[in-house]
């Protein structure tokens, strides 16, 4: 029995082998790959094996499942993640954050140290869009200490976010004044001002990795936009519960337009329905506190 269909040293994964990889990816990362999506990534998955000089599927699967090859695992996740993003996407949420929500921390005497998480952060466009919105409101920028963290399962995207060099397509929705103010164009690429890069931290990690999540600490605000659609129903609810645990009391979560029908209303209550913004439920906070005492 052939483990690979081979042609001129090119690997051709079978449907059965692709299904095994898909099951592993879902178990480890929560990412649901149906048959159509799996076929879209087939060539990229095959390239991972070629680049790692793996000759047959049995060796590959053994390294992945039983030897716990961290490097190989990361390359597999990098091959199948979708990173469709650009600056100023769903920008009404950034406006609400900077001009309505964050000023309440000043006027209502709330804590002045604010932690914001973006998960997933992809190549950083969303995180830096938040930075721009905050910088444009000088009252917020001058009076609040804001820590901004972006996380993503794709290590290649984390590297791109830290480099902060973008194509014209990534910045085409960004207001021209921001493009002129915060970027330098070099050979048709847009380089973010180095000082602005220091306003955000980027970490590679999986939201279903308990050890990683526990090390992040608590947050006041979470952005997680259009990620849940890639999970099955069980993992969608697990992700929502993880975000609930990560949020401080009265914490806020910003979801994408495709995620709103997946919210658990026992954990979150609508804050701004039209903008897909939800607040950690008071009642559930009390229940959590009771269970911990």
CATH code assigned at 102: 3.40.50.150
**How many structural domains comprise the chain?**
2
**Whether residue 57 is found in the same domain as residue 159:** no
Is the distance from CB of 143 to CB of 111 less than 8 angstroms? no
Look at strands 145-152 and 165-166 and give their pairing: unpaired
Question: Is the domain of 254 the same as that of 192?
Answer: yes
Same domain, 114 and 204: yes
Domain-embedded: residue 173: yes
Question: Do 99 and 62 belong together in one domain?
Answer: no
C-alpha distances out from residue 1 to 19, 58, 75, Å = 18, 12, 27
Task: Give the three-class secondary structure for 17.
Answer: helix
Check residue 282 and give its pLDDT.
60
Q: Transcribe 51-86 into DSSP letters.
A: HTT--SHHHHHHHHHTS--HHHHHHHHHHH------
Global pTM reads 0.79
Q: Indicate if 153 and 50 belong to the same structural domain.
A: no
Cβ 256 vs Cβ 281: under 8 Å: no
Residues 12-42 as b/e (b if ≥16 CB within 10 A, e otherwise) read ebeeebbebbbeebbebbbbbbeeeebeebb
Domain assignment present for residue 225? The answer is: yes
85 falls within a domain: no
Residue where one domain finishes, among candidates 47, 80, 113: 80
* 236 neighbors 264 (Cβ within 8 angstroms): no
> In the prediction, which pLDDT does 68 show?
81
- For residue 177, tell me if it sits in a domain: yes
CA 97 centroid distance within chain: 18
Question: Whole-angstrom Cα distance, residue 98 to residue 185?
Answer: 27
Residue 86 covered by a domain: no
Both 192 and 255 in a single domain?
yes
Same domain, 216 and 255: yes
Q: What is the pLDDT of residue 5?
A: 41
68 with 142, same domain: the answer is: no
Query: Both 22 and 119 in a single domain?
Result: no
In a domain, 168, yes or no: yes
What CATH number is attached to the domain comprising 27? 1.10.155
Chunk the chain into consecutive blocks of 10 residues (it has 293) and report each block's average pLDDT, rounded to whole numbers: 43 86 82 78 84 85 82 79 80 96 89 92 96 95 95 92 94 94 95 95 95 96 90 89 95 87 84 91 52 44
Domain shared by 190 and 108, yes or no: yes
- Give the end of a domain, one of 54, 80, 106: 80
What is the pLDDT, as a whole number, of residue 76? 81
If asked whether residues 32 and 120 sit together in one domain, one would say no
List phi, psi (to 5°) of 270. -65, 135
Structural domain of residue 244, as residue ranges? Answer: 92-292
In this structure, is residue 195 part of a structural domain?
A: yes
Question: What are the residues whose beta carbons fall under 8 Å from the beta carbon of 135, sequence distance 6 or more?
Answer: 141, 196
Per-residue pLDDT at 269: 93
- 9 plus 150 within the same structural domain: no
Model pLDDT, residue 82: 63
Sheet holding 277-280, edge to edge: 200-204, 145-152, 113-118, 219-224, 247-255, 277-280, 268-272
Domain endpoint, select from 60, 80, 100: 80
In a domain, 105, yes or no: yes
């Amino acid at each position: 029995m052939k483990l690979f269909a081979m042609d001129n040293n090119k690997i051709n994964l079978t449907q059965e082998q692709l299904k095994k990889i898909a099951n592993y990816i879902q178990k480890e990362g929560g990412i649901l790959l149906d048959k159509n999506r799996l076929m879209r990534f087939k060539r990229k998955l095959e390239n991972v094996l070629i680049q790692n000089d793996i000759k047959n599927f049995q060796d590959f699967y053994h390294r992945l499942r039983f030897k716990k090859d961290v490097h190989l695992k990361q390359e597999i996740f990098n091959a199948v993640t979708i990173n469709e993003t650009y600056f100023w996407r769903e920008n009404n949420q950034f406006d609400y954050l900077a001009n309505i929500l964050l000023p309440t921390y000043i006027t209502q005497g709330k804590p002045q140290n604010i932690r914001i998480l973006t998960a997933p952060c992809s190549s950083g466009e969303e995180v830096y869009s938040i930075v721009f919105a905050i910088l444009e409101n000088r009252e917020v920028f001058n009076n609040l200490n804001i820590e901004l963290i972006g996380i993503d399962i794709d290590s290649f995207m984390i590297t791109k976010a830290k480099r902060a060099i973008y194509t014209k397509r990534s910045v085409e929705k960004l207001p021209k004044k921001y493009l002129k103010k915060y970027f330098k164009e070099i050979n048709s690429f847009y380089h973010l001002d180095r000082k602005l890069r220091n306003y955000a931290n980027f970490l590679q990690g999986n939201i279903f990795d308990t050890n990683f999540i526990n090390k992040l600490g608590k947050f006041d605000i979470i952005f997680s936009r259009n990620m849940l659609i890639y999970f099955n129903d069980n993992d969608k609810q697990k992700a929502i519960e993880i975000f609930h645990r990560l949020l401080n009391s009265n914490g806020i979560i910003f979801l994408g337009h495709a995620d709103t029908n997946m919210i658990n209303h026992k954990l979150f209550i609508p804050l701004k329905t039209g903008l897909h913004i939800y607040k950690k439920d008071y009642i559930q906070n009390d229940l959590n506190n009771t269970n911990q005492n």
